[in-house]
Amino acid sequence: MLIMIDRKQKIWRKITVYFGNYRNGVLLFATVSYIIAFIIRCDPSSRMTGRVLLVSNSVLWSLKLVDYMRVFRQLGPYVTMAAEMIPRMLPILAMLFVSLLSFGLVREAITYPYEEWHWLLLRNIFFKPYFMLYGEVYAPEIDTCGDELWDAHIDEGVPIHSGLLNVTREGCVPGYFVAPLFMTVFMLIANVLLMNTMVACCTYVFEHNVENTQEIWLFERYAQVMEFDSTPFLPPPLTILYHLYWLFRWLRVRNFSRKNLLDASLKLFLSDEEVERIHSFEEECIEDMEKEKDIRKQSSNDERIHRTAERSDQILNRVNVIENAVRSDVRNLDLLLKAMETRHVSFCIRFEGLPSSL
């Protein structure tokens, strides 16, 4: 209601903000479905249908207990972790659904080739393959034709290829050996690969958040306080009275321009010491955010390229300095060699000019 009476936002923006919180959408769906189920149950001809709908609707209200668990220090972080695990599992669940569909379709079509269409056939495609994920492999139904031949061979002591086995061959449908092969591939992909990948994703989420359980609990508790402050204190469907009350207050504000009537937000009165602690906490959060930004900036590819270019320029400058120094030393050495050569020539000339008697 507080969102809807805000004049600064458009109506569609208000609706988007309100239903952006999944709790509001679930609560609306639970309330509407409850009213519909209650109306259906009031009709004697559809009493049992309404009862089934009401029982199914009770699941949504039972899940509200999970929201209440968020405020507990021991349970709150785990509820948040579980909520974070669900979207991470969706891609794996999609691949798991494809594997269930592919194997279940092959198994049902080959094992029962003469069945006429019925909705139970669609159920059977997923029914038994789904329970195979949990270890129920339905061993007697894997290869009924081969099992019948082998059991008759063991009981009668007759070779399998002799043609004298007393078997009915009811399970020997065309392509009966294909379903066990697909089952082998399905069990490897679904049970070994996808299920373990799902467990690994959940483990990653748990290890990533287990160190921040205190912060998670504090934020969840704050969110719960703000949510229950902005929701009616009456349970559904009596919330209509609360909304009518706020509608009446909104009309008074609109007519008399008394805007302070709608000021129903939480008020927090803190001491100077508590305010200082909050400011210190905000400064620490800002510093941590700046450090994280610097780390991300330094680890980015552009920053790496920039640092590499700077280091290359520094190395090139050093090489130029060394090259100039070497050239200067070589030039000085060349001058020294020329001076020594000149002295040597002059010494030789003087030595040749001396008398031979000496």
What end-to-end distance do the CA atoms of the chain give, in Å?
128
pLDDT-derived band of residue 255, with 50, 70 and 90 as boundaries?
A: low
114's tokens: 């003469």
pLDDT of residue 71: 80
Triad 311, 314, 317: Cα angle to 5°: 150
pLDDT of residue 330: 86
Q: Determine, yes or no, domain membership for 282.
A: no
Q: Determine, yes or no, domain membership for 271.
A: no
Q: What percent of the chain has pLDDT over 90?
A: 10
Same domain, 25 and 96: no
Same domain, 61 and 151: no
pLDDT (tens digit per residue) in 292-318: 888 777 667 677 777 788 888 889 888
Q: Determine, yes or no, domain membership for 208.
A: yes
Same domain, 46 and 172: no
304 contact partners, CB below 8 Å, separation of at least 6: none
Residue owning tokens 């919180």: 21
Provide mean pLDDT across the span 44-70: 88
Same domain, 78 and 51: no
Instruction: Give start and end residues of each alpha helix (H) in the chain.
Output: 11-20, 22-42, 47-62, 64-69, 76-111, 119-132, 144-156, 178-187, 195-209, 213-229, 239-256, 272-299, 301-352
Same domain, 89 and 106: yes
The CB-based long-range contact list for 189-193 (8 Å cut-off, 24+ gap) reads: 189/99, 190/96, 190/99, 190/100, 190/103, 190/132, 190/133, 191/132, 191/133
Backbone angles phi, psi at 263, to 5 degrees: -85, 90
Provide mean pLDDT across the span 230-257: 71
Triad 270, 274, 278: Cα angle to 5°: 110
Q: Is the peptide bond before 237 cis (omega within 30 degrees of 0)?
A: yes
Which one-letter DSSP state was computed for residue 114? T
What is the C-alpha to C-alpha distance for residues 249 and 257, in angstroms, rounded to an integer?
A: 11
As for how many domains the chain has, the answer is 2
pLDDT (tens digit per residue) in 126-138: 999 999 888 888 8
Same domain, 103 and 145: yes
Top mean-pLDDT range of 35-49, 75-89, 325-339, 341-355: 35-49
Query: What is 172-187 written as a DSSP string?
Result: --TTTTHHHHHHHHHH
Provide mean pLDDT across the span 10-29: 74
Q: Determine, yes or no, domain membership for 135.
A: yes
Where a domain ends, among 45, 70, 95?
Answer: 70
Q: Determine, yes or no, domain membership for 350.
A: no
Q: Determine, yes or no, domain membership for 56.
A: yes
Same domain, 146 and 93: yes
Same domain, 48 and 134: no
Where a domain ends, among 230, 255, 272?
Answer: 230
Q: Determine, yes or no, domain membership for 259.
A: no
Residue owning tokens 């669609």: 122
Which one-letter DSSP state was computed for residue 45? G
Torsion sign (Cα): 156, 159, 164, 168: positive
Same domain, 88 and 223: yes
Where a domain ends, among 230, 265, 281?
Answer: 230
Same domain, 19 and 142: no
Contact 111, 98 (CB under 8 A): no
Greater model confidence, 125 or 166: 125
Same domain, 24 and 157: no
Backbone angles phi, psi at 297, to 5 degrees: -65, -40
Same domain, 77 and 164: yes
Judge if pTM exceeds 0.85: no
Range of the domain at 19: 1-70
Q: Determine, yes or no, domain membership for 139.
A: yes
pLDDT-derived band of residue 1, with 50, 70 and 90 as boundaries?
A: very low
Contact 70, 60 (CB under 8 A): no
